[in-house]
Structure 1
Amino acid sequence: MADENVQSFMIGDVEVLRVVEWRGPYAPVRDLVPGVGPEVWRDDRETLVPDHCEPGSDRAVVAVQTWVLRSAGRTVLVDTGVGNGRERPGNALFHQRQGDFPGRLAQAGVRREDVDVVVNTHIHGDHVGWNTHDVEGSWVPAFPNATYLLPAADDHHFGPDGGYGGGVRPDDRLIYEDSIAPVHKSGQALLWDGEHRIDEHLTLESTPGHTPGSSVLRVTSGGERAVFVGDLLHSPVQILHPECSSCFCLDPRQAATSRRRVLEHAVAEGELLIPAHFGGSGVVEVRRSGDALTFARWAP
């Protein structure tokens, strides 16, 4: 595929399509991952610039994207981005955003009615936005035939029973009401906890910390392995320093524990690592270097 916003590769028998909704400079690196010192960004500059850090500035480069998996005869979406026309007063970059994400899905050969499963790795606004779309002033599921897999712990925390995230971030109520509640109303939501097998190749696993229900999706097929890690990683510097959580993690210490566990598993099992927001190559292999972790190779 010629468009840099739509790319494809294989994990065994599972076809993976990367569909980018938005990519560009975001928050200052010192704000995005506060525990990482400036020397890390400086010493690894050749690796981080320009794909993960903007040249000439200190802003991290990130992507918002959806991964489309064709597995066992079904089409599975992993996270659904920001969406169009959303009220997000707490995030000027995504407030009332308008983009052509549906067109990019169509370019990748994905029709909305053909999507069988939607996975939300967690309930943050840049992972659930295209769960729904506006039809005559009402939010309705964008994928009419899909089952939406939602982490039960997140659904409780960000839903009305949890006070919409305890009212800490006003956008959380808006996110739940326009992107999650309509899926419940339509009867398409399926809550899960702990572990959930989608098919013989795909398994969801809870990795709490970033949010109470944050999860990863493991893929095993044809002797190949990968793990879609959602927001356990916002930047490659967290591979070098897994003890450092992003500014968005609700429980930074628990997030660090989950991150270390997933990274160690990836090294031991030879899993490719596929984070939600890496601005350059979306796929990286991790290896051990002494007592530390580092990048083995970036996928093309």
Structure 2
Amino acid sequence: MTEDNTQTLMIGDVEVVRVVEWQQPFVPARTLVPDLAPEVWQDNRDVLAPDHWDPESDHVVVALQTWVLRSAGRTVLVDTGVGNGRERPGNPLFHMSQGDLPGRLARAGVRPEEVDVVVNTHIHGDHVGWNTHDVEGSWQPLFPNASYLLPAADDFHFGPENHYGGGLQPDDRLTYEDSIAPVHRAGLATLWDGTHRVDEHLTLESAPGHTPGSSVLRVASGGERAVFVGDLMHSPVQIAHPECNSCFCLDPGQAVRSRRRVLERAADEGELVIPAHFGGSGVAEVRRAGDTLVLGK
């Protein structure tokens, strides 16, 4: 990791640049993954601490980050963080936060007008915030030349047609209005469902449960594979315990099925797993140990 919080890896011919806004203890372990017994964290202390879990506070360590992919001659962003100056009364950590993703992207050699595709793995406030920025009091797309790929099921669920997620979380309406609706008005939104081919190396695939349209982005190039899994999991402990959801999963049963399917394929096909919020290196290798999935070495 450099002082600018970026790091680079290659997946075949696809360059992947990790751009981190922050990495820190987030919430207590039992709050984030309620069904996971406390002793599991202690039993896996050597794997989890300090990059994924802080034993002293018993808080899960997470990162807020965006991934830049240079693939087939185009620049693709995967998720865009929280954004600046957003009203998020339901989440004090994100409410009116002031980050600098554009500056971090610039230091990684990416200017907003050069971005060709923005992938939002799902429509939660910490994945779509920098879709837009404030221009003289109006939210406008930050990436004016990009196609924003939005899961259709999430766009329906969190949008006005489904009353902004059923009105259960006031932040959902605020998120849609300041980070999604302006992209639609600008004519930059592309809704997709099932699977969507981004280019010769990149394919989006539905993995519902965390949200109705939660998705993963698969990368295949030069015999190498990776899968960006969004919020399919928040901690390495969920690799060995895929039956345990985060507290944010809207459909727990469906989330478990998606998690198992994606992780088992990753183990069988040698896909590098890249979750949205892992600390440390931000990536994980998954392998089978008998009937159990484990974090690879």
Question: Shorter-chain-normalised TM-score: which range?
Answer: over 0.9
Matches within 5 A, 1:23-38: 23-38=23-38
Contact 2:121 2:230 in 1 (8 A): yes
Look up the SS of the partner of 2:264 in the other structure. helix
Deviation at 1:4, TM superposition (A): 5.5
The runs of 4+ residues in structure 1 deviating greater than 2 Å are 1-4
Partner of 1:146: 146
Partner of 2:278: 278
Q: Does 1:62 align with 2:62?
A: yes
How large is the Cα RMSD of the aligned pairs? 0.8
| Cα offsets for 1:224-248 (capped at 9, x unmatched) | 0000000001111110100111000
Q: For the residues of structure 1 that align with 2:224 and 2:240, how far apart are their CA atoms?
A: 24
Partner of 2:249: 249
Q: For the residues of structure 2 that align with 1:181 and 1:21, how far apart are their CA atoms?
A: 24
Q: Select between 189-198 and 49-58 the one with higher mean Cα deviation.
A: 49-58
Q: Does 1:90 align with 2:90?
A: yes
| Cα offsets for 1:87-112 (capped at 9, x unmatched) | 00000001000122111000000000
Q: For the residues of structure 2 that align with 1:48 and 1:129, how far apart are their CA atoms?
A: 28
| Cα offsets for 1:151-171 (capped at 9, x unmatched) | 000000000001100011000
Return the TM-score normalized by structure 2: 0.99
Look up the SS of the partner of 1:179 in the other structure. helix
| Cα offsets for 1:155-213 (capped at 9, x unmatched) | 00000001100011000000000000000000000000000000000000000000000
Deviation at 1:2, TM superposition (A): 2.8
Q: Which runs of 5+ in 1 are unaligned?
A: none
Look up the SS of the partner of 1:51 in the other structure. coil
Contact 2:5 2:20 in 1 (8 A): yes
Q: Select between 91-100 and 210-219 the one with higher mean Cα deviation.
A: 91-100
Q: Select between 57-66 and 4-13 the one with higher mean Cα deviation.
A: 4-13
Give the counterpart letter for 2:144 in structure 1. Answer: P
Contact 2:25 2:59 in 1 (8 A): yes
Deviation at 1:3, TM superposition (A): 2.3
Using a 3 Å threshold, how does the CA distance of structure 1 residues 4 and 46 change in structure 2: closer, same or farther? farther
Look up the SS of the partner of 2:259 in the other structure. helix
Matches within 5 A, 1:190-229: 190-229=190-229
Look up the SS of the partner of 1:109 in the other structure. coil
Look up the SS of the partner of 2:265 in the other structure. helix
Look up the SS of the partner of 2:35 in the other structure. coil
Look up the SS of the partner of 1:178 in the other structure. helix
Contact 2:206 2:214 in 1 (8 A): yes
Q: Which runs of 5+ in 2 are unaligned?
A: none
Partner of 2:73: 73
Contact 2:4 2:104 in 1 (8 A): no
Q: For the residues of structure 1 that align with 2:171 and 2:185, how far apart are their CA atoms?
A: 20
Give the counterpart letter for 2:9 in structure 1. Answer: F
Partner of 2:296: 296
Partner of 1:128: 128
